[in-house]
Homo-oligomer: A and B are copies of this chain.
Amino acid sequence: MDLGLAGRSAILMASSRGLGRACAHSVAREGVNVVINGRTAADVATTVGEIAAAYGVNALAVVGDATEPNTHDRLLEACGQPDIVLLNGGGPPVTALADIEPEQWQDAAQRLMISPLMFVQRVVPGMRERRFGRIVAITSAMVKAPNPALGLSAGPRLGMTAVLKALSTEIVMDNVTINQLLPERIDTERQQYMARLIMEQRGVTWDEARAAQAAMIKAQRLGRPEEFGDAFAFLCSTQAGYISGQNLQLDGGSYAGVF
């Protein structure tokens, strides 16, 4: 299926590893020039290199924390007129709700809600003028069903969801869409780290820990990063211009609610 993206350009936050990297691969494969971002220079360089080699597109590196205004500046220097923006970034640590300090809330609100919204403010006017824009945010399955251990993530992320939804209704008339991808247990380094935690905590083998993870998902398996990346590519496609304000769950069919 031709996604109509050849020659487009994308700024992809936190794309040197994990879900972000998978998204970068999927759109680069479709001919999109990409700005790869991450906090570790070596990781960014590796991903830039593999993408440039594999797909023959331009791939630029911006090393830095994508929640900081300074990194926003440099992302926009690398690509002044992005057609595609991936909002992505690591979540805060698991913390019991009773123990969260105000500063942690402020930090989480800044990183997961305010910072991405400030970046969106900067790119939307140009996208509207140019009559094409695809903004996709990676949030979490949790925004629809918040987990008490992850409130520090769920709160600001759902806050961002509300604002992006409101904004989406205003700008879709200019072919600028905003959608969200809600992953649950996609098999990135993070899930492998969590499998090792399970091994330690329960005294089980790697295979047993992995089986325990798979059993939490209705599909009885973890998701594959490539599946996630391709869903991103589809939402960025030319033919997805009539789809906006959606929260697409990639959760192996696990969510119990009708909507």
A residues with a Cβ closer than 8 A to B are: 1, 3, 26, 29-30, 97-98, 100, 102, 105-106, 109-110, 113-114, 117-118, 121, 124-125, 143-148, 150-151, 154-163, 165-170, 172-173, 175, 177, 186, 218-220, 223-224, 226-228, 230-231, 233-234, 237, 239-259
14 A-B residue pairs with Cβ-Cβ distance under 8 Å, sorted by A, are: A100-B121, A105-B114, A109-B109, A146-B162, A148-B166, A151-B162, A154-B163, A155-B159, A169-B218, A175-B219, A219-B242, A227-B240, A242-B250, A244-B253
The secondary-structure label for the interface of chain A is: helix
A234: nearest chain-B partner, CB-CB = B234
Write the nearest CB–CB distance from A106 to chain B, whole angstroms. Answer: 7
Q: Is A124 in contact with B151, judged by CB distance below 8 angstroms?
A: no
Q: Is A237 in contact with B230, judged by CB distance below 8 angstroms?
A: yes
Q: Is A239 in contact with B226, judged by CB distance below 8 angstroms?
A: yes
